[in-house]
Structure 1
């Protein structure tokens, strides 16, 4: 299959926004009717609900109908068959922040990214509770509800809040080292429960940085696109087999790139 053209990508941008909003609306209906949720454990501190599965099925079905030649990689259904990932793969988290979602807590979203080769061409994050739609298109820019994102330049960790994630897939030592370094630099941190939203907050200027020792592609690639297109920096998440196996990730607002590299050891 041929690589998508600029026109092809524009069609995918519009479709991704529509589908993300439709998926988020479905999520909101489940969220407001907690009695309809059926929750099971996938592992330690890792749950899934029928809402996750239903929303991913909706997104996957819509994308397959419009772009049958594209590959698909979702948190709940894994890799699709019969498509060429090198020509474009959709990377989808139907509900990022499921722990929040199933407990009736704000801080969850729908995340959709489109990756071609080693480039994140499109990133869309929809937070229906906040009424926010983030969009990034490589080489064109990033927006929040249609308004361009331009986070302010910062001089150090004292200038704002760093989002921190933690995964049981890695030992605690790397996270504790970064945490100690951040506090020593008089920085402050938050963990909201949604990696996708915390990374989007770096793009919007609400946070000045983000770190997680291991994060999956569906949790972060839309956010990576947003930060880069807003003028910030992220580490090379797609290095090695980051797409399918996950990787460490750091992100920084303009001006904080070198300090974040030193703090996390990531490039």
Structure 2
């Protein structure tokens, strides 16, 4: 047997498809060629195809991996085409999000969601649902109902598709507004200090997370508002008893009960009076 001559032009080829785990390669055929070879172009070499055809599908590849191939045709035992070398990188696993994600049946205390299927290459698709970044559920199919939203909040709900290997799609998000129907809790432990008179109290709770305090020196004498839990009062007169009130309010305008404190405290005589 003589040496092999590589005296024909390289073959042209096409990549018919590339997935994360497989590719399909096709190439031109020539009347003078009787067999075609497709091998790996690295050591140790692996032969993917040998025969008279012009296409092969290669499976069991790894995602996000580079593969090198060499393609050639043979006229007889001593004559081949010059090799065609090419490189293919498989993509990461394909995971696509739902293209439709919507809220429905919303009440003041719950909301439901429906979506169309996402797509995965491996396993069955599942769906991760989050509210304001916090995991609510991993569902296998719609619908899903959130039974614990908070009043007075604009909640952001996001859905991602995931596959059997925990590859995730990009998120799809919607914002759902919940009206505020309740007032904040009452301020508590209202007290005074003797340093120019500073009122302070314990924080109120409201589901909206946005509380403002109205401070008064009597029902018809508002001193001001603050988001802090203390308020300084000046301009007081010696020998006079004062009543101060604090009311919590939220951005929807709901108000708590007014709590009061007296200065000097009841039971302590006013200086300058018997």
Q: How high is the TM-score relative to the length of structure 1?
A: 0.22
Q: How high is the TM-score relative to the length of structure 2?
A: 0.22
Structure with greater strand share of residues? 2
Choose 1 or 2 for highest CA Rg: 2
Structure with greater helix share of residues? 1
